Structure 1
Amino acid sequence: MTAVDGAAAVRTEIDAGGLARVTLSRGAAGNAIGLVLARGLLDAARACERGGVRAVLLTGEGKSFCVGGDLREFSRFECEALQKHLTAVTDALHDALRVFAALDAPMVAAVQGAVAGAGIGLAAAADITLAADNATFTAAYTGIGYSPDGGVSWALPRLVGPKRALDMLFTNRRIPASEAETIGLVSRVVPSGDLSDQAERTAEALRRGPTAAFGATRRLVAAGLTADLGPHLDREARALAAAAVSPEGREGVAAFLGKRAPDYTHHP
């Protein structure tokens, strides 16, 4: 196993099979996002970008996945210095989200306990988000006079609709895991004791899958949210034709016709 430690607040391990485990490791602080953690996430994303990663599993140590921004850290700065500091934090965090979004490798997030502020943005950035039954989701920003970051104002309306998004962002009401699943904020809810195992199994299944096809699918879904139907159909046709002649596509069809399981790990 190859260890890549982007920063003390984030632990990243990329195994020989290409599964990247990215762990927020400030559990005692609720994995609050300060400058070190934001830069650690960017380091982790860049490590995944460098190649060989087939799936990403994002988790948080401790009772809570991520409580949002590190307000204790932010409170040490005054006015102009605070603006500069927050800009540095969000620049690193947002660059990390951009890199993760551009990967072919799909991302699984496993969340538990409090998921607040930019923690919601991290959970939403994953392609599949598993929530423990003890997870709660709170936007939190306007409760302290802030506006959203971490892609929250972009992701929430797309996942839950603009009305529910504004309800969450304005009232900061706590959303239990069961409701988060119902409104589409998470993929599914699992018993808290099973979260780690189910997340590992999900990420491992994706690691064995057709990475290039996953990447093309991620891009098609993202583009389809804003594209007109006609141009998007053309985009789908081009992507499908390219996939069909790729090593993955040829292996997938050969496996289907041969009535065997496909081996995509040797046909990147």
Structure 2
Amino acid sequence: MTTEDVLLRSDSGRVRTLILNRPKAYNSLTVELKERLLAELRDASADQEVRAIVLTGAGKAFCAGQDLKQHIGLLQAGDDAPLRTVTQHYNPIVRAIVEAPKPVIAAVNGPAAGAGAAFAYAADLRIAAASANFLMAFASVGLGPDSGASWTLQRLVGYGRAAELMLLARPVDSAEALRIGLVGEVVADEDLAARAQELAAKLAGGPTAAYARIKGTLTAAAESTLEEALAEEDAAQTALGATADHREAVDAFVNKRKPDFTGA
């Protein structure tokens, strides 16, 4: 890793941490950073040695969303690349987070706005530093939501609250984020990295095959009927019942020992 990298990657045990690394620009998203993040998320998903992913930011911010300086500069130069970024970057990044076959934890170390906040919403678990806040500022720049925020945010906090946060572009501090269910935990700023690694390590030692199916059934159920959800659960249980992790968990329970999950 070098400090010039726009995205840093580190492995600890079976946990991969991806760090957005443009701290002077509040980790705002340039084309380079978006492309690197997408590539690293896909790589982490495919790597069998990686069993949990942590996404966080360098410096005082998690991610300020789109780099508007680059955005307006390209538009003024007649380059329509900014108009393609939702299709080419944001949508694939959110799919990579949601569809990752392993848990993704957003360790929100500071302000998270726009697409940056949406990336956190797409994660499976969110831990926030006390100084963190969330902002859906799309309306302030005459745009609608992207990066899946219209889908993820209302599933976290409900339609009414999601509409309020988007229409009014009202920031949410960490205390309110915890109260309304936007995050699952708030810790002191200095404890965030360690707590995220602790939680990720716990998940990495768990039945990751089951985690992948849990994520899949939850996503499917969000847009299905009861009968469709029951069928999805049935299929998942049938498949997971044949895994080594299930047999290991049952044997460990019967013999009163801690299971040793392999993800198989």
Q: Give TM-score scaled by structure 1 length.
A: 0.92
1:143-174, CA deviations, whole angstroms, 9 ceiling, x for partnerless residues?
11122111111111111111111111111111
1:27 maps to which residue? 23
Q: 2:186 aligns with which of 162, 186, 189?
A: 189
Task: Tell me the secondary structure at the aligned position of residue 248 of structure 1.
Answer: helix
1:82-120, CA deviations, whole angstroms, 9 ceiling, x for partnerless residues?
533341365123212212322221011100221110111
Task: Tell me the secondary structure at the aligned position of residue 170 of structure 2.
Answer: coil
Corresponding pairs, count: 262
Pairing 1:202–2:202 present? no
Structure 2: which amino acid aligns with 1:42? L
Does the aligned pair in 2 maintain the 1:39–1:93 contact within 8 Å? Answer: no
2:46 maps to which residue? 50
1:15-59, CA deviations, whole angstroms, 9 ceiling, x for partnerless residues?
5x4311111011111000110110011111121132212110111
Does the aligned pair in 1 maintain the 2:75–2:82 contact within 8 Å? Answer: no
Pairing 1:224–2:221 present? yes
Structure 2: which amino acid aligns with 1:120? A
Give distance in 2, aligned partners of 1:38 and 1:82: 17
Q: 1:75 aligns with which of 72, 77, 80?
A: 72
Does the aligned pair in 2 maintain the 1:34–1:89 contact within 8 Å? Answer: no
1:1-268 aligned within 5 A: 8-15=5-12, 17-52=13-48, 53-78=50-75, 81-88=78-85, 90-265=87-262, 268=264
Distance 1:81 1:183, change over 3 A: farther
Task: Tell me the secondary structure at the aligned position of residue 73 of structure 2.
Answer: coil
Q: Give TM-score scaled by structure 2 length.
A: 0.93
Give distance in 1, aligned partners of 2:79 and 2:120: 26
Give distance in 1, aligned partners of 2:46 and 2:227: 35
Give me the CA root mean square deviation. Answer: 1.9
Tell me the percent identity: 35
Q: How much has 1:80 moved relative to structure 2?
A: 8.5
